Structure 1
Amino acid sequence: EMFVTLGKHMEADLDLIVPMLIKKSAETNGFIADEANRALMAMAASVSEGRVICALAACASHRNPQARAKAAIHLSRALESMGWRRVLQMKELDKVVQAFGALNSEGLSETRSATRHGLVSLIRESRGQCADVQERLERLLRRQLSEKDRRKLMDAVDASTAGTFPAALEDTSESPMTRRSSLRPSCASRHGTSAGTHRSHG
């Protein structure tokens, strides 16, 4: 209720509040976890987008693997609500890719699934954008991911269907490569995507 009532006035305390909520959301007590998850969703809807990203991305290094899983899930959901196209234009994109890069090799499948959903959605959306946007994302991906992991994500993008949440991206190396989209459309042609280009609707 505090996030709904106070909104952006809560931003100064996010660095303290969000890690605590992430930890509580990973507890085995269902009531406590549910309340923490609701508070995190209210936070994501009530404060500025940049602060949401920074607060959740910082939890990618939490000591508790269950808490890191919740951080990945809430970050991916928050970004999807913002819209993947918008996220690609934000200055916080580097924090997003850095957090997802750290979470991509986690042991828990729910962490990897949420992380790879976020990365696949960003890559897929970038394919309809101009070269500058694609190049920025590609630089960040190369910095945070191994070539093997990056190739698996590209294959998953090619195999995915627009608008769907990949149920399991853990075995992306087995995904059939259906098509490799052109990686460098010009800015002038960003609105003229082909019928075969997969797009996320955010």
Structure 2
Amino acid sequence: MRTHGWSGTTPADDTEAVERIIAAARTAIERSGADFTMAEIARDLGVTRQTVYRYFANADALLTATALTETGRFLDVLAAHLDHLTDPAEAVVEGIAYTLESLTADKYLGLLLTPGRAGASSPGITSDTALTFGRSILERFAVDWAAAGIDDRRLDELVEHMLRIVQSFVLDPGRPPRQGADLRAYLTTWVAPALRT
């Protein structure tokens, strides 16, 4: 760990350094959105850009790490919202609908799941970051996936499918955009049957 800079208070270890960098990124996102620079983060921390680059390869990597850290709260809220649903089809329908409805209110979730935001240099909605995030969502569901006949490979495919559905609705919400009961009825008609076969 570098020992110079840090506005006179050197982190105890690399873990603390990463936490401080993510906290600075969070402040930058709150101040001006996702278009911060590594120089801005370094200036806020009182370190050189090289120090920030030691922990994060670029601004996209830092943005993604910050968004993942912050979306933990969303995962907790989503898990509590779905904790009574044990049917895979019902849980997936409600999970997609609730996530879509939360995108506008949760800026960090939006950073992860809106094309061209966090992970902009990645292949998009099926980036490793998005797939890992999606898998962590499904693993918090109150569904017994194995009892439902969905093994790890199929669960990964389900994550991809759910992310592609979310992306589709983000890119084109429809005219008029589906919301509430209408959105859930649509997903129940066209998504749920795949989980009931």
Of structures 1 and 2, the one scoring higher in RCO (CA 8 A, sep 6+) is: 2
- Taking structure 1 as the reference length, the TM-score comes to 0.30
- Taking structure 2 as the reference length, the TM-score comes to 0.31
Specify the structure having the higher radius of gyration (Cα). 2
